[in-house]
Structure 1
């Protein structure tokens, strides 16, 4: 997901540009907010919208370029018109324009679904809304929104499940649990729960249909058997138990297992080994999630667990890509992760270990380590958040943590150049100009 601030102008040509697209069916006005009397009008023309924005902006006679124009784009058709509109609305609030008149227009005329936002840089009191570090804040706000938008995560999780073949309900549920969701069957649906709320669901009938249509892929099973036999002789295959991070002296909760062999297979072949066991005891079984062929195999069907555990190996160490990525977060990713650690977890300790954040103390100040250098935490946190972080350091007595924890997926950066028709909205003349007022409908 990418946010891009487009150039400011002294007029509101962004309105005309976007409304022209609605007229030729390449775009659709999806939201119009804070336009006073225009809100109750069934059909609004672009000139009315422009005049309202101009009148609103005339509260300030000093600022010349008063138009605020931005674009939010996703990869391909990953997000729908409705989803992009909701994301854009939340983004407008985070950027400080939520109380201003603004419109959102959805465009479908390029390879990537995207929306345009047009507003005024002047607030209700006649002051210019701050544009300091605007481009950085724009993408940072999108990252925060997508990180804290579990409904979109749930939708993607269900789509992933639908793409897999599996032979038992437990296997299908395992896909969703590995993506961080708690599950509950209710009213013939499987509900996906995160942050204490239902974020999505899938009919149980679809899961039963997937189970009935399952056919074992013998060819792929034999390939996996050969892979496991070969690399279990190289990397340590005995699974080590994992525990939920905790700052208390209470017994830590067992949450799973890992092995060097499992880390290697996931990075090299997209094959995940999921061990089944209780109370950190030796696993009694395992499953294989083959992301390449999108099939879940019972481990016993491919390579017996006993053989896997007894295989003599070279004990070659392996550093997973997840850990390498943890050590190379950029400034934006680091800030989002740090704020997530402080706000999204039961304890700060759990958040820090989940995101594998590293710090350094210098002259009494704390610094977050990123690929772009050490960043003072006071520069990226509010006063209240700084107090929480200081308390965490004083209680834990630690200045850094680099445990190998799963890194949450920041949305990939998208090259806006793909949207050729939107590269330079202002100053470009179209070959064809339409005459007359176009009508806007909501």
Structure 2
């Protein structure tokens, strides 16, 4: 995460900057801390927040630019708006602003989730909040909060992994690996950082639900013929919470697969539900290209139909025609047309 001090000012333009973002649909007010005097108002306007901050700032007129305006940013969508809000509150506490009135705004108008904090540098007793080594302290505090946040997140992810019924340690490790973790020398590691100690000998191994396995087999038989391998994988994960992880080596075709049933917290060896060859055989078709058409209006306004998307069907080369279509295709009855 990154913390950045924005331009100070005599007024509190940061409030208007952020509330304008709200009006534009690009931001959201997440927290208004220590503004109890405004609770009596049925509707709080941006000007009300500004007036409150100005009233506190007036306690020390020697501070010419009392506005504190800070942005805390994460990488991409790594932290949600609620997580960033909690981090912002913790950062303010550590920086000496725990009792100050301040606003936290979440912004979603860039590639990186971030929050803006607006407050006053004048304390409630008229003294300035310490700014000694402010930038150094700000980075140190945010780094410590990030480490703490990473451990909390790791504990939550570990708890989720432990909730699955896994019959092997490899299945358990796979669940964590898909979230970016690895287990090494008794530690849970992410991005090269050791986050938690983990005794793999104490990880419980439980057989997955056999009844659910039967349900999954029926699902595979129903939907596999409708998709290629990638399409089936995406459909099952997005629509049913079932993830297929294919195992291969050196770029060769998959030799096996694992089923992660996120919906009901089960992990299966693929062959326990449906052998890989049978699964692929279900969704293998002759080499062709299917064309999806969508209605489209011409210049006169009438509907026309023309190709919109071309979807190549994946061919599994190690299955012959007889394996796909059955032995009945070996002989062709006289007079029968294809």
TM-score (norm 2): 0.52
Tell me how far apart the structure 2 counterparts of residues 57 and 75 of structure 1 sit (CA, whole Å). Answer: 34
**Bigger relative contact order, structure 1 or 2 (CA pairs below 8 A, ≥6 apart):** 1
Instruction: Please identify the structure whose Cα radius of gyration is greater.
Output: 2
Q: Do 1:169 and 1:211's aligned partners in 2 also have CA atoms closer than 8 Å?
A: no
Cα-to-partner distance string for 1:91-130 (whole Å, 9 max, x where unaligned): 0111111110000000001111100000000111100011
Q: Could you say what secondary structure the match of 2:61 adopts?
A: coil
Q: Secondary structure of the equivalent of 1:178?
A: strand
In the TM superposition, residue 141 of structure 1 has moved relative to its aligned partner by 0.7
Residues 54 and 212 of structure 1, relative CA distance in 2, 3 Å threshold: closer
Question: How far 1:44 sits from its partner (Å)?
Answer: 1.3
Deviations, residues 301-339 of structure 1 (Å, cap 9, x unaligned): xxxxxxxxxxxxxxxxxxxxxxxxxxxxxxxxxxxxxxx
Quote the residue 1:79 is aligned against.
79
Pair 156,52 (structure 1): closer, same or farther in 2 beyond 3 Å:
same
Tell me which residue corresponds to 1:92: 92
Q: Deviations over 1:374-433 (max 9, x none)?
A: xxxxxxxxxxxxxxxxxxxxxxxxxxxxxxxxxxxxxxxxxxxxxxxxxxxxxxxxxxxx
After TM superposition, give the deviation of residue 42 of structure 1 in Å.
5.1
Alignment map for 1:399-418 (pairs within 5 Å): none
| CA-to-aligned-CA distance 1:244-296 (integer Å, 9 cap, x gap) | xxxxxxxxxxxxxxxxxxxxxxxxxxxxxxxxxxxxxxxxxxxxxxxxxxxxx
What does residue 217 of structure 1 align with?
248
Give distance in 1, aligned partners of 2:79 and 2:132.
29
1:49 aligned residue: 49
Contact 1:27 1:107 in 2 (8 A): yes
Q: Which residue number in structure 2 is paired with residue 178 of structure 1? A: 188
Corresponding residue of 2:154: 153
2:127 corresponds in structure 1 to 127
Aligned to 2:327: none
8 A contact 1:33–1:39 mirrored in 2: no
User: What's the TM-score once normalised by structure 1's chain length?
Assistant: 0.40
Structure 1: give runs of 5+ residues left out of the alignment.
162-166, 189-205, 223-442
Structure 2 portions without partners, runs of 5+: 174-181, 190-195, 208-236, 254-338
Give, in whole Å, the separation in 1 of the partners of 2:242 and 2:252.
18
Q: For residues 121-174 of structure 1, give each alpha carbon's deviation from its aligned partner in whole angstroms, at most 9, with x where no partner exists.
A: 011110001111111111111001111222233457689x8xxxxx96312444
Distance 1:91 1:172, change over 3 A: farther
Q: Please name the residue that 2:335 is paired with.
A: none
Find the aligned partners of 1:2 and 1:125 in 2 and give their Cα distance.
Answer: 31
Whether contact under 8 Å (1:57, 1:66) holds in the other structure is yes
Question: CA–CA distance in 2 between the matches of 1:178 and 1:172?
Answer: 15
